[in-house]
Amino acid sequence: MTRQRDFDPDVLGAHTDTRLLARWNSPSWFFENRVWQFAIFVPRWFLGAEEREPLCTAHDLRLLEDMLQQHFGGYTSMVSPLRGLGRRGKRFEKNLHTQVMVIASRWRGTTRYFRALRKELEACSGEKQILILRQDLVIV
């Protein structure tokens, strides 16, 4: 639960591919405008009884957002942090997260990319579980 190091976008280099980008108006009728939306919950702070411990810094978040912009053509992020409350073992804990969302293609390499991203965020933040959600979307 203690921050380990800065976020390293180079770790995702092996998973980068132009097929990550969502394609609009695909020639295939079955997959036309079908994409995935990924919601990444980036842990910013652990809230202790008397202090706030940084997990991912503003610098880490900036590196992540720059990388997502390069790999996916853009992203959306929540302005105010989201508060999470959960149980770790026998005690409750509170965290503040920044949510970043990306639209991506429905390709098996996309899943590998986000698994690698989750591992990198866990390694740099010291958190044992980073939440990344995938949702199927059809753009009308």
Looking at per-residue confidence, does 47 or 91 come out higher? 47
d(CA 81, CA 42): 10
pTM above 0.85, yes or no: yes
Which residue segment(s) compose the domain that 30 sits in? 9-138
Better pLDDT: 17 or 2 = 17
What is the DSSP-derived secondary structure letter of residue 112?
Answer: H
Phi-psi region of 33 (alpha: psi -120 to 50; beta: other; left: phi over 0): left
The three-class DSSP label of residue 107 is: coil
Q: Give the residue among 80, 42, 46 at the shortest CA–CA distance from 61.
A: 42
Helix (H, G, I), strand (E, B) or coil at 75: coil
13 in any annotated domain: yes
pLDDT for 80 equals 86
Residue 2 domain-assigned (yes or no): no
Say if residues 109 and 20 touch (Cβ distance below 8 Å). yes
User: Do the beta carbons of residue 44 and residue 55 sit within 8 Å?
Assistant: yes
Q: How many domains does the chain have?
A: 1
C-alpha angle with apex 109: 117 to 101, nearest 5 degrees?
A: 50
Tokens coding 107: 């390709």
- Tell me 74's DSSP state: -
Whether 29 has a pLDDT exceeding 90, the answer reads no
pLDDT digits (tens, 9 = 90+) for 75-85: 999 888 999 98
pLDDT over 80 at 32, yes or no: no
Residue 16 lies in a domain: yes
CATH number, domain containing residue 105: 3.30.70.120
User: Residue 41 domain-assigned?
Assistant: yes
pLDDT in tens, 103-138: 999 999 999 999 999 999 999 999 999 999 999 998
